[in-house]
């Protein structure tokens, strides 16, 4: 679901119900979050920034790998729900990703999960510039986005990130093959986990044709 970033009230309407993205109930969504998190290097960070945190579905994965976690979202209802869930373990704030209120080089990990496509294409370059300024030298930054009509194209997404950052890894985190899961899972020999692992493995072979959500790990050099 793509909403114009200028229409903030629609985000609050979306979050009037808990878990609007159904990360708790849709297996493919849980796979997306898991695969995206596994792309982050296995190390501990001093200060992490998460953009578009929502209710904190991805935030929960960051708590154990960072000393300080800052998480922002444009939806007030999402931020309030996240605060109730995580308390003072995370510094939540209501912010627009186009106008972030942090000092330069504050973070050694930035997570921009499913947010970079919301602003108009004319504003995305400036956002990338600002994120570059917020990231420490040799810090890590991870992006993910849908590769779908009306969102981002495969090469467009890569070009956007590479204009400022050095890309370390590109990985499909969901695939269009997932929609075959309801058919394939009837084969007794395959578990649901096995189906999704097989689908991702096939997508790595043909990413431009099969990828549905793409994640990019990059660094500031």
Q: For residue 142, how many other CB atoms are within 10 A of its CB?
A: 23
Which pTM does this prediction carry? 0.92
Residue 130 pLDDT greater than 80, yes or no? yes
Give the pLDDT band of residue 12 (cuts 50, 70, 90): confident
The answer to whether the CB of 97 falls within 8 A of the CB of 129 is no
pLDDT at position 182 is: 53
Mean per-residue pLDDT of the chain: 91
* Domains present along the chain, CATH in parentheses: 8-94+101-219 (3.40.50.150)
pLDDT, mean of residues 8-22 = 89
pLDDT, mean of residues 107-127 = 96
21-46 per-position pLDDT tens digit: 899 888 889 989 999 999 999 999 99
Q: Which residue in 24, 16, 13, 34 sits closest to 173, CA to CA?
A: 34
Pairing of strands 91-94, 135-146: unpaired
Q: Which residue in 218, 48, 56 sits closest to 128, CA to CA?
A: 218
Give the pLDDT band of residue 8 (cuts 50, 70, 90): confident
Q: For residue 198, how many other CB atoms are within 10 A of its CB?
A: 14
Give the pLDDT band of residue 9 (cuts 50, 70, 90): confident
| Beta carbons within 8 Å of 71's beta carbon, 6+ residues apart | 49, 50, 53, 56, 59, 82, 90, 91, 92, 93
Give the pLDDT band of residue 188 (cuts 50, 70, 90): low
The answer to whether the CB of 153 falls within 8 A of the CB of 118 is no
pLDDT at position 186 is: 55
**Separation of alpha carbons 79 and 85, rounded Å:** 10
Give the pLDDT band of residue 2 (cuts 50, 70, 90): low
3-state helix, strand, coil in the chain (%, to 5): 40, 25, 35
Give the pLDDT band of residue 189 (cuts 50, 70, 90): low
């Amino acid at each position: 679901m793509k909403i114009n970033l200028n229409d903030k009230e629609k985000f609050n309407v979306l979050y009037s119900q808990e878990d609007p993205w159904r990360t708790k109930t849709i297996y493919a969504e849980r796979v997306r979050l898991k695969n995206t998190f596994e792309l982050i290097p296995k190390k501990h960070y001093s200060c992490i920034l998460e953009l578009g945190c929502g209710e904190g579905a991805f935030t929960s994965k960051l708590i154990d790998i960072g000393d300080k976690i800052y998480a922002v979202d444009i939806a007030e209802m999402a931020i309030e729900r996240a605060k109730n869930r995580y308390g003072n373990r995370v510094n939540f704030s209501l912010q627009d990703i186009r106008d972030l209120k942090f000092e330069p080089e504050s973070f050694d990990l930035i997570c921009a999960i499913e947010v970079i496509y919301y602003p108009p294409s004319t504003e995305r370059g400036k956002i990338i510039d600002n994120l570059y300024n917020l990231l420490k030298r040799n810090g890590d930054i991870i992006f993910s986005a849908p590769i779908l009509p009306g969102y981002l194209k495969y090469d467009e997404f890569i070009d956007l990130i590479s204009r400022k950052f050095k890309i370390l890894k590109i990985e499909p985190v969901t695939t269009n093959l997932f929609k075959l899961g309801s058919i394939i899972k009837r084969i007794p020999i395959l578990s649901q986990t096995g189906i999704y692992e097989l689908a991702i493995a096939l997508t790595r072979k043909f990413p431009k044709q099969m990828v549905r959500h793409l994640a990019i790990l990059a660094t500031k050099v």
